[in-house]
Chains A and B, each alone.
Chain A
Amino acid sequence: MDVGKYDLNDTEILQFDPQQTELALTTKDLQVYYGKNHAFYDGSLQFERYKITSLIGASGSGKSTFLRSLNRMNDGVARVTGQIWYRGLDVNSPQINVYQMRKQIGMVFQRPNPFSKSIRDNITFAVRENGIKEQKKLDEIVETSLKQAALWDEVKDDLNKSALSLSGGQQQRLCIARAIAMQPDILLMDEPASALDPISTLKVEETMMELKKNYTIIIVTHNMQQASRVSDYTAFFHLGHVIEYAQTKNIFTFPQKRATDDYVSGNFG
């Protein structure tokens, strides 16, 4: 199937009314360049607070590139222009303190990447660096974040064991716990379940549903079932463009664009 035949500028993007919907993050005209290569075009998306938004699309569609730009993980790797509005600030400007911003906009990566420290230290490390040194408080944070990440029951007796001794699925949930221990506003997840087996995937998904109560989640996924199971909104990316952004059920049942339709019905990707 010839994927080049879709009109990439013919798009259908959901717009919220800021008066009625609380927005966690808004991007405006986001462009990403790797050297001379223009990898992502014109991203203007709004993300509603306390919702899960999925970014779907084939490999190379620019969804991960877009996600990683949101908390400036592309700094030094790619050039990102345009605006990213968070709490009335454009966080894509040089005056922003990236470190503080990343504490508000956390990230979980595709491959589980716990530090080679103990389970406890994985969670407390950044928290301590952040100035919380009191042991009781730290213990509390370890417990609550592990509980939120649905890992507490499995590891509560082995907190001093190396994080590398955990299974892949457990490691990924530990990474989620580590991210939420910083109490961010927004959690970016870059295909968090793609390296996991189906059971671990389900656990991670359950965790996300639980987290939604307190966090805004933006997740990149390859897995359309996953997107339809967990997310409230879905954006479909194709060749560096956002083709369609709508409520998840609409994307999967009444796609407005042919590219979206072809993708969600499995014709390419």
Chain B
Amino acid sequence: MNPKTMNKLALTTIKVITGLVVVILAFLLGRILLQGVPHISWRFLTTASQEFVAGGGIAYQLFNSFYLLVLTLLLSLPISLGAGIFLAEYAPKNWLTEVIRMAIEILSSLPSVVVGLFGFLLFVVQFKLGFSLIAGAIALTFFNLPLLTRNVEESLKSVSNLQREAGLALGLSKWTTVLKVIIPEAVPGIVTGVVLGAGRVFGEAAALIYTAGQSASVIDFTNWNPFDAASPLNWSRPAETLAVHIWKINSEGIMPDAAAVSAGTSAVLIIVVLLFNLSARYLGNRLHRKLTSADK
């Protein structure tokens, strides 16, 4: 074939392929939303789920998902900040640092089901936490840490070295310089990473099945004492999340409206994840502009 026709053919193929990928995404989103949104109602979002009869909602699962996310961020943010600071600011250039980086890479590529099983073994069984929010949050923290750490490290590294010198030359400790000069400048990047990570955490199920558990215990939304077993804030109760709920219904659900409930739940899940994605970009841009713009 002559090169010109070949060129045309190849370029067309590339364009068709790209078009197909866009169509696949459009189909997925369209399907999930079109199928699921009609099932979303105020009632659906605010009533408890049913196991045997139709008409169950997702109130507990929705709350559990957000609460678990908050607990996970509370655990993983400080650790990943510390670890990111170590890698960006203190890590010496030697084999030990290489090993540490390798360990983080390995953690990030571990199948989430393995992370979940480890959480189950160590926290649910060994430490006798039982299926609980806190065990789930710890498992999700392990799952979230490598991503967040790398994000913090990269955001810190993108801040000009001149800023570090400015702080040090004023007699500040390196730690204070990092904490009060470098981190504020790195905030847009860090926030974007945290929110994107939050989206990932929100949709994760494999790591939770055997840590946070597969049952949504009854909670009383008027009881805000975290040490009471019926309180929403209690972190030692088992807590099924939205993602786990979808899995559970589809693998062993016996309620008559299983398909509708999982479609509705999927749509809610996707909408929340989309919101996280959008707000990550929006927040990142906005904070960046706010920090670098001329007028405050």
Contacts and interface: CB of A to CB of B under 8 A. Distances in A.
Contacts of A130: 171
B165 A116 contact: no
Chain B interface bracket (under 10, 10 to 19, 20 to 34, 35 or more): 20 to 34
Nearest to B176: A129
Contact of B181 (A107, A115, A118, A161): A115
B166 A162 contact: no
A71 B168 CA distance: 10
Interface string B240-268: 00000000000000000000000000000
29 contacts: A73-B165, A99-B172, A99-B173, A101-B171, A102-B168, A106-B169, A107-B165, A109-B165, A109-B169, A113-B160, A113-B163, A113-B166, A114-B166, A115-B163, A116-B185, A125-B170, A126-B172, A129-B172, A129-B176, A160-B296, A161-B295, A161-B296, A162-B293, A162-B296, A164-B294, A165-B294, A165-B295, A182-B170, A182-B171
A45 interface: no
A162 B171 contact: no
B184 interface: yes
B180 interface: yes
Interface string B146-183: 00000000000000101101111111110010001100
A220 interface: no
A116 B184 contact: yes
Interface of B: 160, 162-163, 165-173, 176, 180-181, 184-185, 291-296
A116 B292 contact: yes
A126 B295 contact: no
Contacts of B171: 99-103, 126, 130, 182
A178 B184 CA distance: 19
A126 B181 CA distance: 11
A185 to B, nearest CB: 12
B294 A162 contact: yes
